A and B are shown apart, each in its own frame.
Chain A
Amino acid sequence: MSSSTGSLRRSAGSLLIVVVVWELVGKLELIAGGTFPPLSAIFGRLYDDRADYPQHLAATLRSAGIGFAVGSVIAIGCGILFAQFKMLERIFRGVSITFFAVPLIVLVPVLLLAFQGTMPRIILAIIAVYFPVMVSTLIGVRDIDPRLAEVIRVSGGTDRDVMRFVRLRAALPAIFAGLRVGGPGALLGVMLVEFGGGVRWGLGTYLLGSLGRGEPARLWGIGLLATMIAGISYGVFSWFGAYFLRTNLSTTVSMKASSTTLDSDDRYTGLQRLVLGIASFCTVLVLWSGALRLMNLSPVVARGPVAVVRYLFTGARGADARDRLLSALGETLPLAGIGLMFGLLAAFVLALLLDLFPIVGSAFFPFALISQSMPLPALTPLIVLVFGRSVLATVVVTFSVTFFPSYVTIAQALSSSPQGAIDVAESYGARRLQVLRFIRLPQAIGSLLTAARLAAPRALLGVMIAEYLATGNGLGNLLNESRGKLDYGMIWTVGAVSVTFAVLLTQIISKLERQIGRKFLV
């Protein structure tokens, strides 16, 4: 690790290179006949449009801020509760994973049916924030250095004291790591509703109104502004996280390799596991139908689990609906798999490269952030002009949504190799490459599955977005067409099926992860 001024200078240097290259590529119209605008044009456009922005920005920040705050409170509360009552966590696991895996574009039309005003925006932000913050809180509170808890207990402290003096304090860096991911998520969720929901003010609204102008500089300006907000929130929470990491744990080395898994099921018997699995599944169904009943929606619009099953299997058009659904799934699922592989592979290679050449990392970071917070409708013309509307375009979009979370997970594993092991290797004269090969690499391979688990639902989302923006195939298109035809049964079916597959995929990878983890990472 170099000094902070050194890394700052390096970041500034590489940022300069990014700016110059971007400007040249844009000015010379190298990409898609000038559809990728130079930075100067983007900022010029931002300046020209400066009168438009304040109200949009204020509206977006307000909803995202409320959603983020409320979502964080709920998520941290749930994380602490789940860490204490493991059974509760297990029963609500289906709900948690559903919130994590649900493609947000499926939720937007549904939320717009059920709520008015700013509610749909706030709720989507809460859903986007919930999972990362809940999981990181749960893990932070749970995986403490057991010696610290012993100290409290030996001194006559209760579990409550352990929670207060050890767990909550030790969890702070993890909680901030969760908030760091949740911030951009809340922003994107809010913009998604603004874009689709007939909202008067908001960056998403401005994006929709501007799409029809065919002026990429405006669209990129909106995207860059969103990126900047995401970047600032990411930076602020990173700083807090680092601060608490320094003040908290300066002397301790965690005894337990940090894991990002939820509680393992090992201590249950097969039967217990089955019962818990069913309970967790039923909780989702009960909440789904309960929520619909509470909102008192028309049964034509709002379909519960029973109505979806009836639509598919006993309804007059059931056979036709099943055919359309199956052929859409056949198009979507393989692509999600391919996109996920590419995203993981690229993230893995890049994380290794960056570990060897940190300078590339700081140059790469702005792009990574853009890929996270640049609204995809703004990028669609660029994508279809460069990659066409084929499988390639779909894979590219999927790649762009899966790559970053995978990269973060793998890079974290690389950098969190136990310092003791590295010290041992270095004292025997190991070079950087050897440390990488013998210590960091095995650690990173272990994290691949973790990355895959986190990225799998996003891969499905990526394919669906590409399908409805560019290719017109698969589940994404089916969802959109069904909206045009007011085929509410199909809208809910696509939602339920896509969540089911995302959850299944997550669970399968999670199982693999635990089995492999038991072999290698004890």
Chain B
Amino acid sequence: MNQLSRRQFIGRSAAGGATLLGLSAFLNACAKSDGKTSSGGSASPLSMQAAWINDAEFMGYFIAMTNGYYAAEGIELNYLSGGPDVIPESSLLSGIAPLALTTPDSTIKAIVDDGAPFVIVGTQYQKNPIGIVSLKKSNINEPKDLIGKTLAVPPVNTITVEAMLKISGVDKSQLTIVPYAYDPTPLIKGEIDASMDFTTNVPYTISQLGEEASSFLLYDFGVTLYNDTVVVTKDALSSQRELIVKWLRASRKGWEENFKDTTKYPAMFADSYFKGTGRTIENEVFFNGAQQPLMESDGGFFSMSDEGIENNLRALSEIGIKGTKEMFDTSLLAEI
């Protein structure tokens, strides 16, 4: 039907190509206008990938940004929030950020299985805040109490729950595991008996909804893992080592400042970092207080003792993930 000449065709195709090019330029412009503009100067830019949306879990970094601790170290920090679909290790691999907060289990598994070029240079939590949260009346106080119950687990924490069951000698078939969709309603209504989540967070919500919560840390039942481990790529470690040390120093300062008064900063950030997150400031204050004992250590924030590293490796070896001490590098912390 169409008697289109070859020349016409080429002409139109070229026009189409030009349109597409124009489109992608337009899209790039649209996308860029949303990002931060670089201020220039002598500060070195550094991107960090956080593990979740803005909440008290990341207070120290917010404080360090607000109070200029990073700027004082010559770092221009590009802070990237996380979320359920953001895999922090992926941000490292795809070059989005050279530094990320991860779970040690997934990081070490990636190094072992895929030879991922990661190094763990510090840890935010000495004890993983993840635990089993339930209503007090269900009387679930240790992993064995979960036998015959329904436990909701975020699918991304499959490794962690496998470790807990293995270490406490419970078989996976002895309980029902269902996906956890970050909403405590099914727990309150008794549709599930327990959920796996941060013990620093959900118990507050449950109390707000008129129920009494009880919880225990997986850490206290043999799953002796860190959490929010500070992981950098091998590339970054060799080319930006100084910058990473500075980041650790500024971040530590932020956390020290935070724990002088756990109620002070959440309120201060009501109109900035915590604005419109959907969560309440009271919730952040609770979270901030509850996480203090999980983060403090003799060596200072982020420190990793030999014993702590061995504990991590032992817990992981229980579920067949064979990590080594070489995957941790404590020498940067020593330079702070």
Contacts and interface: CB of A to CB of B under 8 A. Distances in A.
B150 to A, nearest CB: 8
A289 interface: no
Contacts of A485: 106, 109, 158-159
Interface stretch (A114-122, A243-251, A398-406, A439-447): A114-122
A477 to B, nearest CB: 6
Contacts of B306: none
A486 B16 CA distance: 39
> Which of A33, A52, A214, A385 has the most chain B CB atoms inside 10 A of its CB?
A214
A193 to B, nearest CB: 8
B4 A84 contact: yes
B23 interface: yes
B213 to A, nearest CB: 12
Contact of A114 (B94, B178, B185): B94
Contacts, number: 206
A207 B84 CA distance: 12
Given A205-B53, A213-B205, A480 B191 contact: no
Contact of B277 (A209, A219, A481): A209
A211 B182 contact: yes
A199 interface: yes
A483 B84 CA distance: 10
B185 A381 contact: yes
Contact of A198 (B80, B154, B185, B206): B80
A385 B81 CA distance: 32
Nearest to B280: A213
> Which of B1, B4, B27, B188 has the most chain A CB atoms inside 10 A of its CB?
B27
Contacts of B300: none
Contacts of A488: 90, 114
A467 B179 CA distance: 8
Chain A interface size, under 10 / 10 to 19 / 20 to 34 / 35 or more:
35 or more
Interface string B81-110: 111111101110111100000000010011
Interface string A31-58: 0110100000000000000011001100
Given A209-B277, A380-B181, A486-B89, A118 B156 contact: no
Interface string B174-214: 00011101111110110100000000011001101100000
A358 interface: no
A195 B83 contact: yes
A114 to B, nearest CB: 7
Contacts of B81: 198-200
6 contacts: A55-B276, A116-B35, A195-B84, A209-B277, A210-B278, A298-B94
Given A208-B53, A381-B186, 8 more contacts: A52-B278, A73-B23, A122-B27, A200-B81, A205-B277, A211-B278, A470-B179, A480-B179
